[in-house]
Amino acid sequence: MIQVEIGCDHAGYELKEWLKSTFSGKVDWHDHGTFSLDSTDYPDYAHATANAVLANNSKGILICGSANGVCMTANKHAGIRAALCWSKEIAVLARQHNDANIVCIPARFLSREDAAEIVDVFLNTVFEGGRHANRVEKINC
């Protein structure tokens, strides 16, 4: 079973819970919140999730309304390569070419089914390495 760190704000809460249920039995979820629909600040959960991805050498999922806020926040952490993905094709390329370790999903702009496809390909696509490895090595400041 693959270990996945997950976090969201209030806009992503329902999708987060649905994804956890949908991938139950296939994923060992480490949930970093939020745990309700109450209004909250996305950086709190993005930082917690990013720190856990780094500490556990795992993959992560972040969800907010547009996914911009969680993506910007997570990418402040050296070693995090968070990708905002709105289609499964973008998620595949984020893994293959960028070795993304967090996928950021815009809850207000995707169906549950599209989000599940993105998560599935993100978790199951391998980094190609090769010419992409040198580029990925240049990302951190």
Distance CA 16, CA 63 (A): 7
CB 46 within 8 A of CB 77: no
Catalytic residue, candidates 30, 47, 97, 132: 97
97 is catalytic: yes
Distance CA 38, CA 28 (A): 25
Distance CA 105, CA 64 (A): 7
Closest Cα partner for 63 from 85, 30, 81?
85
Distance CA 3, CA 30 (A): 7
Catalytic residue, candidates 8, 10, 32, 64: 64
Q: List residues with catalytic annotation.
A: 64, 97
